[in-house]
Structure 1
């Protein structure tokens, strides 16, 4: 059984926010709370409160980990963001994520891109 997550980029740099998980085996749509609305509306603290310690994060759900990392990065919590993106990249779970441009990308690749952009942004901020 493969899960497919719709993903949207909030900015040109990877600031992902997952929306919906669908079980493609039987086409039942299952809502997964990964703080999509809070992130897309700029309510970063609310997103962190929703995701931090959630079952999705505890079970290493890549979408939840990436979104929590995104929220941490927005607050300048770079080490915590890096830890979430790394956990998503190394998660046993793996999804195809739909990006804002309509392309589908493996969750591990999205997590690695988020890490790369985090390091790039952090380096620019330090100059």
Structure 2
């Protein structure tokens, strides 16, 4: 299963998040853990992923999601800001077939962080 969580459609609301799919990758970076609400395990999986660069925008967004869900907002903000200002971006396809730029998703994550939405947020996405 291609796996790197990003934000996708549920950034608009506090409900569940649509999956994000980029079929060319096969990296397991915390998706199953995020879906199951095992955020500590998601952080470990993402931090131990050797296949993606540390500055990969999707990796940064996933890591930020897991951290935000754990209440580690300053660290999450650093990840989201790095993804939002990255020199490279990744087009991610949401489960509903829409494509989103990783910078756009990172900016939406920052907005969610600012509004306190991560307190009730459940991530569910893939790259």
Distance across 1 between alignment mates of 2:86 and 2:18: 17
Aligned residues: 112
RMSD over equivalenced CA pairs, Å: 3.1
| 37 and 53 in structure 1: CA distance in 2 versus 1, 3 angstrom threshold | closer
| 8 and 79 in structure 1: CA distance in 2 versus 1, 3 angstrom threshold | closer
Is the contact between residue 5 and residue 62 of structure 2 (CA under 8 Å) also seen in structure 1? Answer: no
**Aligned equivalent of 2:47:** 52
Is the contact between residue 14 and residue 114 of structure 1 (CA under 8 Å) also seen in structure 2? Answer: no
**Aligned equivalent of 2:125:** none
Q: TM-score with structure 1 length normalisation?
A: 0.71
More strand per residue:
1
**Aligned equivalent of 1:40:** 35
Q: TM-score with structure 2 length normalisation?
A: 0.71
2:107 equivalent to 1:112: yes
Describe how 1:46-85 pairs up with structure 2 within 5 A. 46-52=41-47, 54-55=49-50, 56=52, 58=54, 60-85=55-80
Is the contact between residue 17 and residue 35 of structure 1 (CA under 8 Å) also seen in structure 2? Answer: no
Is the contact between residue 89 and residue 108 of structure 1 (CA under 8 Å) also seen in structure 2? Answer: yes
Structure 1 unaligned residues grouped into runs of 5+: 23-28
- Alpha-carbon deviations, 1:77-101, whole Å to 9, x = none? 0000000001111222211112243
2:90 equivalent to 1:95: yes
State the structure with more CA Rg: 1
Distance across 2 between alignment mates of 1:6 and 1:82: 16
SS class of match (2:28): coil
- Alpha-carbon deviations, 1:19-69, whole Å to 9, x = none? 6544xxxxxx330222111111111011001112644352x1111100100
Is the contact between residue 62 and residue 93 of structure 1 (CA under 8 Å) also seen in structure 2? Answer: yes
